Amino acid sequence: MKIQIDHKDFELMIEHEQVKKRLRLIGIQLNVAYEYSIPVFIGVLNGCFMFMADLMKEVHIASEVCFVKMASYNGDQRQEEVKSLIGLSHSLKGREVIIVEDIIDTGNTLKEVIQMVEKEEPASIAVCTLLLKPDALEHEFEELAYVGFEIENEFVVGYGLDYNGIGRNLKDIYRAV
């Protein structure tokens, strides 16, 4: 199936059913790993909103949720500088923290978020991402613990990911053609 967004063509890459199955597995892993603590899930907006909402439906342990908002893209072009648009609203000192990302490509945004969280002196930091582009990574992350899908270094939309602000509402994930 192909779609067009803002004069750019995309083809189906990952169906929503595959995403749901993977989310159930990640949810089980999180429930086991954090069974005896009350972790703080920090979603990185805007892209994580659908993934985080569905993920939290699979997390059955006591937990808190908050969000940060970072800007690293202009259309389909990555920017060098990552800007913090909304910062942390919770004290994280001594807390177990899980950073929830929609996608990790270069890792520049994640690096900034981790640095922001580390300043709060948490007990631990883990990263959960729906999509990972290993070939695009410019940084190494020992915190990367939960990965939905590894994908090629392609531009993708849907399930929270956008192109020029459009396409976040699509339930499937599409790649540019």
pLDDT of 107-147, one tens digit each?
998 999 999 999 999 999 999 999 999 999 999 999 999 99
Q: Are 116 and 88 in contact (CB under 8 A)?
A: yes
The model's pLDDT over 8-27, given as tens digits with 9 standing for 90+, comes to 999 999 999 999 999 999 99
Look at domain 2-30+38-176 and name its CATH class.
alpha beta
Least confident of 66-70, 72-76, 105-109: 72-76
Query: Beta strand 173-176 with 8-14: parallel, antiparallel or unpaired?
Result: antiparallel
DSSP letter, residue 135: G
Give me the active site residues, please. 105
Token duo for residue 13? 């890459």
Residue of 165, 166, 164, 155 lying closest to 10 (CA atoms): 155
Q: Are 55 and 27 in contact (CB under 8 A)?
A: yes
Q: What pLDDT sits at residue 76? A: 52
